[in-house]
Amino acid sequence: MSGIRNSRTRLVGAAATVVLAALSLTACNDGTGVTDEGASTGASTTGSAPADAPASDASSQGKPAAPVGSEPAANTAAPKDPASAGKPVTCEGSTTKTVAAPLNRPVNHMLLTVTNTGSKPCFLYTYPAVRFGEAQAVPPVIEDSRPQAVVTLAPGESGYASVNLSAADGSGTNGRTEKSLTVYFHGRSGNESVGAGAHPALPAKGVYVDDSLEVTYWQQSMDDALTW
């Protein structure tokens, strides 16, 4: 009998302990007990994110997340060399526009105007090699008209030369009227033509030339070209 009583006593004591524990938890929840220290750092709550989580996750949209502080990759393509892009070339028919204009003064003269239509500066070497009609030879140059420096044309700039078509006093021989003109461009040596020739239009009635035909060197200014 004493054993039965001892067992009942232990059960009653255990029950009292459970009640006290429940009362203790109730006191903690209503702010009268000890402070809740929060969940452990390894725990997670369904539907919430850690405080230091980023606002959006790029990987969830199929995009790799960029490291914090990363910058776009630098463009590794080699830049164009502005010096080589602007290196002067020889002026010739495909990169220039040539206009031939007969003049009243000086009499029996024609002005050639060459404009650089290319994207690079070009050199007008020596003098224009002009061919009227089916002529087999080009006229000579007036040596005294040689400029001090090679004429250089920036894109859009023009150079000039004049053509003495015939003798003003009528002393020239083999006079004839020509209706077509081709202008060829010399290279650095002045002994050869380079590139394409130009075909400036002449007046519908043509121009009168004779064996006194001659040209000036290319000039940087119109006034210098008309001096001769």
- DSSP 8-state secondary structure symbol assigned to residue 123: E
Q: What pLDDT tens digit does each residue of the chain (228 aa) get?
A: 444 444 444 444 444 444 334 434 444 444 444 344 444 444 444 444 444 444 444 444 444 444 444 444 444 444 444 444 579 999 999 999 999 999 988 899 999 999 999 999 999 999 999 999 999 889 999 999 999 999 999 999 999 999 999 998 989 999 999 999 999 999 998 888 899 999 999 999 999 999 999 999 999 999 999 998
Beta-carbon contacts of residue 173 (< 8 Å; ≥ 6 apart):
210, 211
**Cα-to-chain-centroid distance, residue 213:** 45
- Is 159:96 a contact under the CB 8 Å cutoff? no
* Tokens 């429940």, residue located: 22
Give the pTM.
0.63
- Residue 106 preceded by cis peptide, ω within 30: yes
Encoded amino acid at 197, one letter: G
What is the maximum alpha-carbon separation in the chain? 166
Beta strand pairing status for 158-164 and 96-103? unpaired
Beta-carbon contacts of residue 182 (< 8 Å; ≥ 6 apart):
130, 131, 197, 198, 199
* Tokens 């043509």, residue located: 206
Judged by DSSP in three states, 42 sits in coil
